[in-house]
Amino acid sequence: MQCGWPLLGPLQWIRYVNKQVTVKAGKDEEHHGWLLTVDPVSASVVLVDFREDGGTSVQVVMGHAVEEVQVLQEADEETADRLRTSFLSPRTCSLDPEELRMRRRSVRSWLEKNRVPVEEEGDELRVAGVLTIRAPYGPEDCFSSNQTVLDRVQRLIQNLIQTQPDCPGLIPEHKPGLMNPSIRAQQQP
């Protein structure tokens, strides 16, 4: 039967943070790791394990499946710091401003060659007023609520990367765009 873990509440759960714990779950699962957080909505336990090869693995145990949580030890300063900062900050860009500028210009030219309306807004590129491209202007840096535009722009940028992977400043030969006027007319406003 379900134990009282989901009923403990935030003030109890937060006491387990930064402690090394063993969590028994389901019928016979046992998980060990540093407790990063407990979701107050689902009582799910997030455990972090720092592997010897330098990698970090995360296990999330659903609140409804938790049978028992046992504290093994408290984290020392170094581990606590590592827990706090190692992987939950957003991906930071490691290129210098000049390289970023060149890459932004290169992506912008490529989009313009493919008849995609694009404007520079500070460090970002704005496409057709519905999509934003942030540094470093790769396919995964595109943000939009319009799935069609997102898909097309991501593919275009992917083509750009594939044709000249190491030269962000080079502008390739013009290729027929995926966004030709007849298709664009069918898109949602």
Partner 1 sequence: MATPVSVLRLPKGPDSNSRGFDPKSPRFIALCRTSIFTSAASEVDSVELQREQQARSVLRETFLRCLLSMTNKKVQFHMYEKVKVEATFGASDIDVLNFQVSDLHTPIGVQKEALIRSQDVISFTFDV
Q: Do the beta carbons of residue 44 and residue 38 sit within 8 Å?
A: yes
The residues in 142-171 that bind partner 1, with binding defined as CB under 8 A, are none
Q: Do the beta carbons of residue 66 and residue 3 sit within 8 Å?
A: yes
Q: Do the beta carbons of residue 110 and residue 99 sit within 8 Å?
A: no
Q: Which is nearer to partner 1, 35 or 131 (CB)?
A: 35
In the set 70, 73, 86, 180, which binds partner 1 (CB under 8 A)? 86
In the set 3, 71, 72, 88, which binds partner 1 (CB under 8 A)? 88
Q: Which is nearer to partner 1, 9 or 129 (CB)?
A: 9
Alpha-carbon distance 104 to 123, whole Å? 8
Q: How many residues bind partner 1 (CB under 8 A)?
A: 34
136: nearest Cα among 171, 89, 91: 91
Reply yes or no: is the peptide bond before residue 10 cis, omega within 30 of 0.
no
Site mask, partner 1, residues 96-135, x = CB under 8 A? ----------------------------------------
81 vs 24, 48, 72, 78, CA distance in Å?
26, 13, 19, 5
72 counts as binding partner 1 under rule CB under 8 A: no
- Give the shortest CB-8-to-partner 1 separation in angstroms: 9
Residues that bind partner 1 (CB under 8 A): 9-11, 13-14, 17, 25-26, 29, 31, 36-42, 44, 46, 55-62, 64-65, 86-88, 90, 140
